[in-house]
Structure 1
Amino acid sequence: MGRWEPNARGRLERAALELYVERGFERTSVAEIAERAGLTERTFFRHYADKREVLFAGSSALQEVLVGAVARAPGPATPMEAVAAALAAAAGVLQERQEHARRRQAVIDANAELQERELIKLASLAAALADALRQRGVDDASASLAAEVGIAIFKIAFRRWVERTEDKDLSRFIEESLAGLKAVTAGA
């Protein structure tokens, strides 16, 4: 394997994504990922439970960003204002990984199993947002509704960002999606 090099987790992530793009998720083995990263399968399994988790390992960090931003939102913020602050915080973290996000999304879009896993991840993020809103004193129904709407806004903005042809930050797509929500609910 050669001499030790740092950042095994990052190397595995890069190797996996490269192989998934080149060969497809189904046709890529853990052994091939480890080899491309210059590591062993054993090292792979120290960091990831399976080859799907390479694509979803950042979920807990994203959840922490979202929940932390809701907790830090000003006291008088409405539930949707707190969610908007959380989405803006997430955009700040994700913006620097746009090319990775674009490639990751292409791999997910090409595989039904990964699409299902992505939906589970988004549902977990919505549940965490709802819990964070409840901790702010928001009633259960309003917290769940605001969180689910927030994740819908995120999904739409994220999709536009990774598929974009115009030069905009993720935060701008989120702002536009929030404005779109206001427009479709005006007069409701």
Structure 2
Amino acid sequence: VVPAPYHSLYGPQDFLPVVRTEAERQTDHPVLGAFMNAPVANAFSRDDIREKVLRAYMGLIKQIDDQMGKLFQHLEDTGRMQDTMIVLTSDHGDYLGDHWLGEKMFFHDTSVKVPLIVYDPSTEADATRGTVCDALIEQIDLLPTFVEVAGGKAQDLDHILEGHSLRPILNG
């Protein structure tokens, strides 16, 4: 459910074109074929369904953006913006009809390439502030990063942390 006004902010003129070809449907791979013929994939293959979902999806992203603005304002008003790291990410992308698929099934970029946006107010991050990095990272790298940012050391924890701190990337 997407609340007003977000449910009606976007329309087809705002959507990126769907990424799919008829040739993709001609697969003899049993697993891929099964996913392409699943109800969710069939639904997203219909432009009318895709349009409804994309309106909602984009509206929800706008709602998140607006709420993040309120959070940032609160952090500014309370003097906490300069000592708060903010990380935005997702666990996976969604096909939304690309490649004749509906959700998160395979390893196309649309499914596995997710955003990781980091606001790091520390002076150590000045060298990379405002830049884009295309390094391959995993979500498992976030916890060691948070431990290090908070002044801890992974080896001092009563738990093995897999992954690696992203501080070298964040600090340049």
> The TM-score by the shorter chain falls in which range?
0.3 to 0.5
TM-score by length of 1: 0.32
More helix by share: 1
Q: Which has the larger radius of gyration?
A: 2
TM-score by length of 2: 0.34
More strand by share: 2
